[in-house]
């Protein structure tokens, strides 16, 4: 029996991809891909493009509802067709304790591994594809945990100018009455007490430093670091280089279309910040910005 699945609102995917509900052999989890980065670093640039590769399965707005139940998910797919890629935060924080988002290798318990392996295998079956991709903003402080759960995983770490990120995080916090927003490193409560822009900038710095430290324990061939600015300046070149590193090949015409609308939004912080605000951010973030190759 075949169920026609319509990928409504997700251009680039076949609109009538068949989904088999007959018994299938348990698929092997092979080289999953995790896109990570500080919130507002441009991770969505990859999050909504990589799943359009014919080899990649992903968690969607539908499949995240009952991710560890293959049959309930397939029943839900009969009535809901929204298969936009989802961050699926609730899945990655399952079995987590504490009020921050940090998880390390010791948190990869047998129970947690079994759950996440089942989730990924279900999605390989659902979309009938050999590999898996996901982006979740909290996972930038969980790379070692994910590496323990999926020991052959690739990590694509997008880094963006911390001043642009601070501007964007501040805007997001203003929409939430100034409350701390998004990824919570271990120090998030002290960051929440800082003045809004300073706290937003220090959130970027704390998260990036955590991620860079975590990356030291991941083999360099499986950790790919790219700059948002480079991706925007040469989208086809950088996207192809990243894809080659994670063992994905694209048709030239498809890739050119896929990246044609990528553009930088970094100009906004220069228009928004006063000289005093820029001076404050340089005092707090300047060392890390320079280390990452940004002009201060």
Q: What pTM was computed for the model?
A: 0.91
pLDDT at 6: 40
Q: What pLDDT shows up at residue 96?
A: 84
Can you state the percent helix, strand and coil of the chain, rounding each to 5?
Answer: 45, 10, 40
pLDDT at 1 over 60: no
Domains in the chain (CATH in brackets) are 2-291 (3.40.50.300)
pLDDT at 16 over 90: no
Q: What is the pLDDT of residue 2?
A: 28
Q: Residues 49-59: what's their mean pLDDT? A: 95
- What six digits make up the tokens of 52? 């359009």
The answer to whether 21 and 1 are in contact (CB under 8 A) is yes
pLDDT tens column, 237-253: 999 999 999 999 999 99
18-36 residue pLDDT tens: 444 444 578 999 999 999 9
**Given a cut of 80, is residue 109 above it in pLDDT?**
yes
pLDDT digits (tens, 9 = 90+) for 265-276: 888 898 899 999
Q: What is the DSSP string of 26-79?
A: PPP--S-EEEE-STTSSTHHHHTTGGGSTTEE--BTTTTSSTT-HHHHHHHTTT
> What 3-state DSSP class applies to 77?
coil
Find, among 78, 24, 14, the residue nearest to 51 by Cα.
Answer: 14
pLDDT given for residue 17 in this prediction: 43
Q: Residue 95, Cα to own-chain centre: how many angstroms?
A: 20
**What is the Cα–Cα distance from 187 to 196, expressed in whole angstroms?**
15
Tokens of 43: 């991770």
Per-residue pLDDT band at 8 (split at 50, 70, 90): very low
User: Look-up: residue for tokens 């609109």?
Assistant: 15
| Position 260 pLDDT exceeds 50 | yes
């Amino acid at each position: 029996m075949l169920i026609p699945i319509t990928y409504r609102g997700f251009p680039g995917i076949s609109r009538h991809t068949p989904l088999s509900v007959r018994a299938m052999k348990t698929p092997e989890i092979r080289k999953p891909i995790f896109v990570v980065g500080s919130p507002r670093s441009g991770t969505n640039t990859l999050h909504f493009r990589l799943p359009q590769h014919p080899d990649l399965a992903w968690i969607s707005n539908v499949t995240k509802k009952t991710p560890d139940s293959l049959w309930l998910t397939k029943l839900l797919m009969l009535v809901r067709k929204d298969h936009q890629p989802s961050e699926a935060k609730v899945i990655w924080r399952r079995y987590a304790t504490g009020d921050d988002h940090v998880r390390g290798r010791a948190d990869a318990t047998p129970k947690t591994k079994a759950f996440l392996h089942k989730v990924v295998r279900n999605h390989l079956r659902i979309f009938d594809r050999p590999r898996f991709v996901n982006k979740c903003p909290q996972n930038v402080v969980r790379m070692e945990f994910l590496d323990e759960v999926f020991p052959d995983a690739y990590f694509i770490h997008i880094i963006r100018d911390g001043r642009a990120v601070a501007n964007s995080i501040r805007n997001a916090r203003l929409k939430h009455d100034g409350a701390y927003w998004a990824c919570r490193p271990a120090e998030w409560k002290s960051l929440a007490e800082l003045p809004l822009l300073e706290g937003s900038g220090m959130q970027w710095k704390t998260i990036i430093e955590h991620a860079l430290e975590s990356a030291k324990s991941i083999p360099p061939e499986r950790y790919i670091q790219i700059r948002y600015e480079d991706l925007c300046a040469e989208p086809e070149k950088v996207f192809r280089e990243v894809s080659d590193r994670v063992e994905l090949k694209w048709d030239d015409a498809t890739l050119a279309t896929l990246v044609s609308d990528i553009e930088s939004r970094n100009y906004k912080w220069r228009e928004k910040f006063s000289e005093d605000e820029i001076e404050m951010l340089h005092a707090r973030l300047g060392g890390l910005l320079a280390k990452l190759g940004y002009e201060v």
